[in-house]
Amino acid sequence: MPTVRLKPKAEARAIRHGFPWVYADELVTDRRTQSLAPGALAVLEDGERRPLGLVTVNTKSKIIARMLDRDPDAVVDQAWFEGRLARALAHRSRLYPQPFYRLVHAESDGLPGVVIDRFGDVAVVQPNAAWAEAHLDALVAALVAVTGVTTVIKNGQGRVRGLEGLAEEMAVVHGAAPAGPVQVPMNGAVYMADLMGGQKTGLFFDQRENHAFAACLAKGAAVLDLFAHVGGFGLAALAGGAARALAVDASAPALALAEAGAGASGFGDRFSTRQGDAFDVLESLGTEGARFDVVICDPPAFAPAKPALEAGLRAYERIARLAAPLVAPGGYLVLCSCSHAADLQAFRNACARGIGRGGRRSQLIYTGFAGPDHPVLPQLAESSYLKALAFRLDG
């Protein structure tokens, strides 16, 4: 097994205490290290040549090494993957009576750069790191053995793969592709997930608990769900007793899936959609004098990385400013961010500024995060990315 070594001034203590990454400027990148193929395995040593564990190396990435196993003699094969997957499955099986959840949340589940979402008998794998791409066959075989899924889809799309030097690809790597959208029961509603052509893996499981909280606010309410994707908060609100829900999204295919989900859930008559840019729709609704008891905004990541933080916070503030006037007195405004670069305090401050500039007074009544099938690695801030804030508005 080749070895790679931290520079003398690099902080080995962080690695020993659980931090899973080594950045390019922390590793000795001599000719031998540079010759390692992307995704190669190596033993990581500290500056005094003491082993720290088994890592995967990609000299093309800013994250040049990712910790795989604290045991430097570990063998990454199907049995190794089965151990990690069995541990992940045991946790999710306690949480959810039906097999619809995030099964693997990357570093937090000991599989860096790997995301696996489960939709009953179908699993969607995102191998977003070069090592996972190199070991995909063993991972898929282990996934089938541990979970019993009959279909595995590789979703090799997205910005992160580009940072690893990986090509984009969508393929069925085990079994047969679903004949159409997959029905996902969640929070009393039925969601339709397009696993081959939808966003990310087809559905966002991370908002499940926040959907449930918003549904509690929506009894008898008129609900506006912005950036609704395939129904998101709107369908959960209807399952919770909302009088009606309007879903807004820029994607016509996503809204078609949302309508199908509303029909499958039995409340299509209380659900309507409006296609368009959410900012434009917010301004139009304001001009129309529309009012809702609950307004929910769940946009894509406006600040996916630190260079975009300032612009992202301005966008979150603008959403709050435009949405606040649409909330009826005593109603609720739910604002979400999936930008890990915007921490909770910065996001909360941006929302509060926007609400104030929208002419409203507010009480913060709820702070939510991703569900427990998206565990946080305490040493890695990036694993805690989702924030959901609920405000009660007066005036």
Which residues are annotated as catalytic?
Answer: 338
Residues forming beta bridges with residue 366, ordered by sequence position: 390
Give the C-alpha separation, 187 to 34, whole Å: 49
Q: Residue 47 is encoded by which pair of tokens?
A: 């500056």
Q: Residue 146 is encoded by which pair of tokens?
A: 């541990």
Buried b (16+ CB within 10 A) or exposed e, 364-374: eebebbbbbbb
Give the C-alpha separation, 238 to 295, whole Å: 13
How far, in whole angstroms, is CA 240 from its chain's centroid? 24
Pairing label, strands 271-275, 244-249: parallel
Give the C-alpha separation, 226 to 246, whole Å: 8
How far, in whole angstroms, is CA 392 from its chain's centroid? 26
For the four alpha carbons of 225, 231, 237 and 238, in that order, the dihedral sign comes to positive
Tokens 């190396």 belong to 57
Give the C-alpha separation, 104 to 115, whole Å: 5
Buried b (16+ CB within 10 A) or exposed e, 96-128: beebbbbbbbbbbbbbbbbbbbbbbebbbbbbb
Q: Residue 316 is encoded by which pair of tokens?
A: 């979150």
In the chain, where does DSSP find H-type helix? Answer: 12-16, 31-34, 78-95, 130-134, 136-147, 159-163, 208-217, 232-239, 252-265, 278-288, 309-323, 344-357
Give the C-alpha separation, 334 to 47, whole Å: 48
